[in-house]
């Protein structure tokens, strides 16, 4: 066995994430590693927290990146907040609410599913109705930007409904952070998690999270220990907390955090609202081009995410063959459908660094080429 | 608020990890990001598995890196294997067995602690005695290379004792992998976890793990679901498994895995046994130099880890001030004591890329300088 160094081809990543990473982020990740308790590194951690607060539009003190991918961010929210026997109303309009259900069950919580059509926004009325018959619910959980379908839900309204009944809210913002309007404090979201590999132009592997005072209170007053040691925020806070002396919990992924820091500096330079506008603008261009090719969107226009475009696969077209040829002939990755959407849609991401005019044109040209050519 | 790009100083990392990262690894991490289901990336995953099997000296099919730091690798082992009510005998000779206890408790298991002196190897006789009075134990867990004290335990013998009573074994090899002899198959270890930031010359953030057939069998036949969705190996195996079609579970930390791949290619080039020899050789040089300065080891000579040297802090010396001056004047990081060792020892790492003659000399010169100079 002799295995050589790995040199990846240069792809354009326009799937559901990872999306194209900024070269600045890649370069930052290759800077010299520091110790996880080095005062210079601790200073950088504080900057990451400040930059994440900006990205999330929050003053929440407990705002930080979990040292693992988005799925671990999701689990961090559920496992810290939900105690055995507590009821969680989950609005499902795609794959990821199904994961929320799995998380609630594994915490010993009781999930109550509120089903919406996949490809549609969550219906606030259905949530309201569900809460009427579940007055003992402690939490409402939903996905702000459903990565599996490209639907955007009205987080502000859903949180209002939840709060009227005294429920805390847990929100999946994996695909929305940095890509479409998201205002944690203004919308009064209690717990939120995201990923770095979507609209932040960063590599996968970290999960930014943020918790309101009410959520932190709930975590501090738990009757039982958090079942995960690694994700236990009572312990993690000792390392990411406000105390000048940071207690070792786990060894932070130093270089990945350099990358996130740089990604967030880039976001700050552009300005959050400008980033939101950019995603919308290139989405409009992509939409015009796709419609000119008679390719239709799966999600109704006013419920669409600009950064994640689910396109119905035309009848008679071989899903896998098209994606495979886009990859081999154009070095372009787009996403397959997930769960019940498999074979029905393609997911075209326009996220972060990947969201630019060049990529829109490349994607349209590539699709036109591959769809028009008969098989070799 | 305007936060600028972060440019870390160039330190020499001779603490308990992270240790100096190979420049080849840092460069590899900055290569273009691929999608986590890209066939080229999946090919690289297979190479990472093959290289990890070599590093662990195992043919275990379930050998892969967990997408999170070593603490998550530890939790992956416990949370998948230990079911509620099952008894786990834990040999404790330092900090990390205490974490094992936490993990067992949070899984609903019953920990039985066997205490050894900190700074000593685990005493096989004590384990044998403990198993006599705990005939219903299902697991034995211990730390092969105790990062908090620098003690090396006889994993082969401990596993033999455990197996004689039909217990599966869970072994912490965070600091031993790549640094001192570790033979998973020959020693018949059932579940093992490590970290990338010690003797593999890689950045922190991933945790290589390996499971024997018997361990996989136990996981497959669980009565209850694994309490962590993120760490559930029944699901993770769908992504890292042998099936050519990989199922999406979570988004892998692509660029971190490039780094690990490169680190393992480097290990393969050097040869595992040569790496072990190199750690021993430079440890001997460090030892000679420290003894010439009247600095003594905390661990008896035949129980010492070459890659992690716990040195007793001389009386009257200000622990924190010395470490702080090593950092500021020499850009050299050494480790503080952890847990009950705080203030009593320094931990000097000679791990992976950091384990070389230049670093030994640098460390000795720096210590001599800082210990001899009166405070400024």
CB–CB contact B75 A252 (8 Å) = no
Give me the residues of A, 35-94, that contact B with CB < 8 A.
35-36, 38-41, 44, 47, 50-51, 54, 67-72, 74-75, 79
Q: What is the span of the domain harbouring residue A120?
A: 23-268
User: Is pLDDT above 80 for B242?
Assistant: no
Q: How far is A254 from chain B (nearest CA, A)?
A: 6
User: Is pLDDT above 80 for B1?
Assistant: no
Question: Which of residues B268, B297, B312 is at a domain's end?
Answer: B268
Establish if A6 belongs to a structural domain: no
The residues, ordered by sequence, that sit 6+ positions from A39 with a Cβ below 8 Å of its Cβ are: B327
- Model confidence pLDDT, tens digit, residues B330-371: 999 999 999 899 999 999 999 999 999 999 999 999 999 999
Per the DSSP assignment, residues forming a β-bridge with A169 are A140
What is the Cα A107 distance to its own chain's centre?
A: 22
Contact predicate A250/A67, CB 8 Å: yes
User: Is pLDDT above 90 for A316?
Assistant: yes
CB–CB contact B6 A69 (8 Å) = no
Q: E strand or H helix at A69, and its extent?
A: none
The predicted pLDDT at position A374 comes to 67
Residue of B nearest to A270 (CA): B2
B104 plus B217 within the same structural domain = yes
Check: complex ipTM more than 0.95: yes
The predicted pLDDT at position A375 comes to 66
Q: Which of A131-140, B153-162, B242-251 has the lowest mean pLDDT?
A: B242-251
The predicted pLDDT at position A241 comes to 84
Confidence band, pLDDT 50/70/90 cuts, at residue A246: confident
The predicted pLDDT at position A189 comes to 98
* Segment A151-176 mean pLDDT: 98
What is the Cα A270 distance to its own chain's centre?
A: 20
**DSSP single-letter state for residue B352:** G
Which residue carries 């794959």 as its tokens?
A95
- Model confidence pLDDT, tens digit, residues B189-215: 999 999 999 999 999 999 999 999 999
The predicted pLDDT at position B373 comes to 82
Joined tokens for residue A303: 């419920």
Provide the b/e sequence for A162-179 (b: ≥16 CB within 10 Å).
beebebbbbbbbbbbbbb
Confidence band, pLDDT 50/70/90 cuts, at residue A132: very high
Q: Choose among A2, A7, A258: nearest Cβ to B31.
A: A7
Query: Is residue B3 classed exposed, middle or buried when 0-12, 13-18 and 19+ CB atoms within 10 A define those classes?
Result: middle
Radius of gyration of chain A (CA): 21
The residues, ordered by sequence, that sit 6+ positions from B256 with a Cβ below 8 Å of its Cβ are: A203, A205, A253, A255, A256, B29, B67, B203, B205, B206
A87-92, strands of its sheet edge to edge = A62-66, A207-211, A191-193, A168-172, A137-143, A87-92, A110-115
Q: How far is A125 from chain B (nearest CA, A)?
A: 30
A156 plus A242 within the same structural domain = yes
User: Is pLDDT above 90 for A343?
Assistant: yes
Confidence band, pLDDT 50/70/90 cuts, at residue B376: low
The residues, ordered by sequence, that sit 6+ positions from A91 with a Cβ below 8 Å of its Cβ are: A97, A114, A116, A122, A126, A127, A140, A141, A142, A143, A153, A158
Question: Which of residues B235, B252, B268 is at a domain's end?
Answer: B268
Query: Is residue A195 classed exposed, middle or buried when 0-12, 13-18 and 19+ CB atoms within 10 A define those classes?
Result: buried
**DSSP single-letter state for residue A302:** G
B306 plus B232 within the same structural domain = no
Establish if A281 belongs to a structural domain: yes
Residues of A in contact with B39 (CB under 8 A): 327
Establish if B6 belongs to a structural domain: no
In angstroms, the Cα distances linking A102 to A88, A238, B227 are: 12, 28, 10
What is the Cα B301 distance to its own chain's centre?
A: 21
Establish if A1 belongs to a structural domain: no
Domain of B91: which CATH number? 3.40.640.10
* Segment A204-214 mean pLDDT: 98
Residues of B in contact with A6 (CB under 8 A): 28, 31, 44, 47, 258, 261-262, 265
User: Is pLDDT above 90 for A1?
Assistant: no
- Model confidence pLDDT, tens digit, residues A82-109: 999 999 999 999 999 999 999 999 999 9
Establish if B4 belongs to a structural domain: no
Domain of B362: which CATH number? 3.90.1150.10
CB atoms within 10 A of CB B40: 14
- Model confidence pLDDT, tens digit, residues A254-290: 999 999 999 999 999 999 999 999 999 999 999 999 9
Confidence band, pLDDT 50/70/90 cuts, at residue A245: confident
Q: Choose among A30, A67, A230: nearest Cβ to B30.
A: A30
Establish if B202 belongs to a structural domain: yes
Residues of B in contact with A5 (CB under 8 A): 24, 28, 261-262, 265
Establish if B1 belongs to a structural domain: no
Give me the residues of A, 216-255, that contact B with CB < 8 A.
225-230, 248-255
Q: How far is B330 from chain A (nearest CA, A)?
A: 14
Looking at the 3D structure of chain A, how many domains does it have? Answer: 2
Report residue B260: phi and psi, to 5°.
Answer: -65, -40
B133 plus B187 within the same structural domain = yes
- Model confidence pLDDT, tens digit, residues A284-312: 999 999 999 999 999 999 999 999 999 99
The predicted pLDDT at position B121 comes to 98
DSSP characters for A308-349?
EEEEEPPTT--HHHHHHHHHHHH-EEEEEP-GGGTTTEEEEE
The predicted pLDDT at position B245 comes to 77
A124 plus A245 within the same structural domain = yes
Question: Which of residues A268, A283, A305 is at a domain's end?
Answer: A268
Across chain B, what does the average pLDDT equal? Answer: 97
Q: Whole-angstrom Cα distance, residue B190 to residue B211? A: 6
Q: Choose among B250, B264, B327: nearest Cβ to A71.
A: B250
Joined tokens for residue B1: 């608020």
First to last CA, chain B: 36
In angstroms, the Cα distances linking A54 to A183, A216, A259, A354 are: 10, 19, 17, 21
Identify from B1, B2, B6 which residue to disrupt to test chain A contact, counting A C-beta atoms within 10 A and taking the largest count.
B6
Establish if B310 belongs to a structural domain: yes
Q: Which of A228-242, B30-44, B302-316 has the lowest mean pLDDT?
A: A228-242
Per the DSSP assignment, residues forming a β-bridge with A298 are none
A160 plus A261 within the same structural domain = yes
A312 plus A171 within the same structural domain = no
B137 plus B245 within the same structural domain = yes
A146 plus A203 within the same structural domain = yes
Q: What percent of chain A has pLDDT over 90?
A: 97
B163 plus B275 within the same structural domain = no
B28 plus B111 within the same structural domain = yes
The predicted pLDDT at position B219 comes to 97
User: Is pLDDT above 90 for B246?
Assistant: no
A221 plus A354 within the same structural domain = no
């Amino acid at each position: 066995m002799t295995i050589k160094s790995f040199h990846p081809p240069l792809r354009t990543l326009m799937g559901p994430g990872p999306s194209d990473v900024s070269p600045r982020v890649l370069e930052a990740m290759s800077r010299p590693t520091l110790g996880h308790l080095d005062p210079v590194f601790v200073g950088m951690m504080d900057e990451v927290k400040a930059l994440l607060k900006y990205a999330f539009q929050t003053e929440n003190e407990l705002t930080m990146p979990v040292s693992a991918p988005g799925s671990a961010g999701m689990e961090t929210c559920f496992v810290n907040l939900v105690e055995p026997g507590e009821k969680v109303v989950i609005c499902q309009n795609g794959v990821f609410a199904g994961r929320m259900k799995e998380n609630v069950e594994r915490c010993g919580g009781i999930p109550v599913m509120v089903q919406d059509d996949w490809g549609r926004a969550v219906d606030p009325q259905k949530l309201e109705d569900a809460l009427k018959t579940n007055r003992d619910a402690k939490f409402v959980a939903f996905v702000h930007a459903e990565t599996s379908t490209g639907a955007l839900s009205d987080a502000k309204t859903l949180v209002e409904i939840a709060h009227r009944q005294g429920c805390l809210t847990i929100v999946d913002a994996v695909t929305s952070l940095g890509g479409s309007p998201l205002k944690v404090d203004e919308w009064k979201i209690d717990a939120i998690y995201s990923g770095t590999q979507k609209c932040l132009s960063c590599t996968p592997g970290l999960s930014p999270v943020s918790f309101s005072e009410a959520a932190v209170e709930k975590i501090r007053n738990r009757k039982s220990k958090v079942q995960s040691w690694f994700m236990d925020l009572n312990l993690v806070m000792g390392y990411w907390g406000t105390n000048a002396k940071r207690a070792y919990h786990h060894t932070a992924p130093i270089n990945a955090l350099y990358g996130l820091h740089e990604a967030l500096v880039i976001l700050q330079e552009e300005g959050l609202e400008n980033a939101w506008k950019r995603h919308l603008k290139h989405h409009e261009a992509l939409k015009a081009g796709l419609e000119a090719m008679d390719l239709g969107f799966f999600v109704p226009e006013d419920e669409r995410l600009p950064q994640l475009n689910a396109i119905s696969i035309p009848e008679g077209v071989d899903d896998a063959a098209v994606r495979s040829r886009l990859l081999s002939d154009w070095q372009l990755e787009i996403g397959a459908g997930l769960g019940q959407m498999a074979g029905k849609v393609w997911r075209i991401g326009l996220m972060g660094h990947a969201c630019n005019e060049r990529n829109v044109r490349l994607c349209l040209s590539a699709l036109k080429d591959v769809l028009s050519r008969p098989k070799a």
